Amino acid sequence: MKTKIAREFHWEMGHRLQHHKGLCRNIHGHSYRLWVEIEGEPDEHGMVMDYGDMKRIVTPVLGELDHCFLCSDSDTRMKEFFTDGDFKVVYVPFETTAENIAAYLLDKLWVKFSGMSRIESIRLQVHETQNTYAQVEKTRA
Ligand SMILES: [Zn+2]
């Protein structure tokens, strides 16, 4: 029977949305929460995958982002600011909305999870605040 399992992860990150008309254009941060949902047929031992393996795959990807400033390549003001400092900055070719962060993480995680033939689809939810999230999903072709 097709079964879905899920695990929640956390990381801290700063960003800004340079084109936002309101408060989000300011430099600020979030305690991000990521829900990773994996769907597939359980194996003969009754598992879609081990939650520990899930953690071993996802944690390094989020570790790259933890306590960084996620900076859009097009944000020249922030790039200039970070030129001289000893800061953890990750540059990405997109505006750092929750939607785009979710898609970015899905690309990275799909590469790792799709090697496991049991896994049929992955869904990610990136929760930026207590009451908002962006969701993306990919299913094996
Ligand atoms: Zn924000």
* 24 assigned to active site: yes
pLDDT of 8-49, one tens digit each?
999 999 999 999 999 999 999 999 999 999 999 999 999 999
Contacts of 96 (CB under 8 A, 6+ apart): 15, 16, 17, 70, 71, 72
**pLDDT at site 87:** 95
Task: Dig out the tokens for 71 from the structure.
Answer: 């900076």
Report domain 3-67+95-139's class: alpha beta
Residue 71 annotated to the active site:
no
The answer to whether 65 touches 88, Cβ cutoff 8 Å, is: no
Is the pTM here over 0.85, yes or no?
yes
Which pair of tokens denotes residue 133?
């999230």
Structure confidence at residue 3 (pLDDT): 97
Label residue 84 by pLDDT band (50, 70, 90): confident
**Total residue length of the chain:** 141
Catalytic annotation, pick one of 39, 95, 127, 128: 128
* Distance (Å) from CA 134 to ligand 1 centroid: 12
Listing DSSP states for 51-95 in one string gives: HHHHHHHHHHHHHHHTTEEEEETT-HHHHHHHTSS---EEEESS-
